[in-house]
A = this chain, B = another copy of it.
Amino acid sequence: MKLLRDKVMTEGIVLGNQVLKVDSFLNHQMDPVLMREVGSEFARRFAGEGITKVLTIESSGIAPAIMTSLELGVPMIFARKHKSLTLKDDILVEKVYSFTKRETNEITVSKKFLLPGDRVLIIDDFLANGEAAFGLARIAEQVGASVAGIGIVIEKSFQPGARLLGEAGYRVDSLVRIASLENGTVTFVDEVHESL
C-alpha cells in the first residue's frame, strides 16, 4: 500500500533494531485520510469473506478498525486491556503477554457482542510477536465464532508473529511488511526479494 509505505519512509523513526516509531500518523497523532484508506484496503482484501464483526484491541487499533468496519458495513468491537480483573461471567477473557511492557494483561470482550457463527476480521496496528492477535482469535473462538483473517497495518516480519499465526492456520494480511530495521533503515520485505 503505497500511501502507507511512503508515510513509513518519510515519517517513521527507527529506534534500535526492533522499534519503529510511527506516532506522527498511526498511534498517537493519526492521519485520518490514511486511516480511511487503510480501512478501504482491508475491506477490499477481505471482501467476499462474509465478515460480520471487526475486532480490535484498544487503543491504536481503534481508528483503522472503525474505518474498516464502516467500509464493510458491520459493527466494530474493541477488546479492553486490564492489568487485573474482577471475574464476571458475562465477559470473555484471554491472557496476553506484552513483550514491550514485559507484563501479562487480560483482554476482555463482553459476551453479548460476539456470537457463534460470527465471521470475525481482526485488525491491529502492529504485528510483532503475535500475542495480541492470538489473544483476539482465542476470544472469538471461545464463543464459536470463526476468524476470517487478521489485517495488520505494519508487520515487523523479522519478528515471529506472522509466521506463527500462519502456521496456526490464520490468514494474515499486512499492508506493509518490514524485513529489517537494521542500521537505522527501514527495509521492506519485497525489497529483500527484489535484491535476491
Chain A interface residues (CB < 8 Å from chain B):
23-24, 28-33, 35-36, 58-59, 62-63, 66-67, 69-70, 73-78, 80, 109-110, 112-113
Contact = CB atoms under 8 A, between A and B. Distances in A.
B70 A32 contact: yes
A76 B30 contact: yes
Nearest to A109: B28
A31 B67 contact: no
A28 B110 contact: yes
A67 B76 CA distance: 14
B110 A77 contact: no
A148 B11 CA distance: 28
Contacts of A69: 30, 32
A75 B28 contact: no
16 contacts: A23-B110, A24-B112, A28-B78, A28-B110, A29-B75, A29-B77, A29-B113, A30-B75, A32-B67, A32-B75, A35-B70, A58-B58, A59-B78, A63-B63, A63-B76, A66-B66
A184 to B, nearest CB: 19
A76 B31 CA distance: 7
Contacts of A35: 66, 70
B23 A66 contact: no
Contact of A113 (B28, B32, B73, B110): B28
Given A28-B78, A58-B59, 4 more contacts: A32-B76, A58-B58, A62-B66, A63-B63
A109 B27 CA distance: 12
A18 to B, nearest CB: 19
A30, A73, A112: most-surrounded residue (chain B CB, <10 A): A30
Contacts of A58: 58-59
B67 A24 contact: no
A24 to B, nearest CB: 7
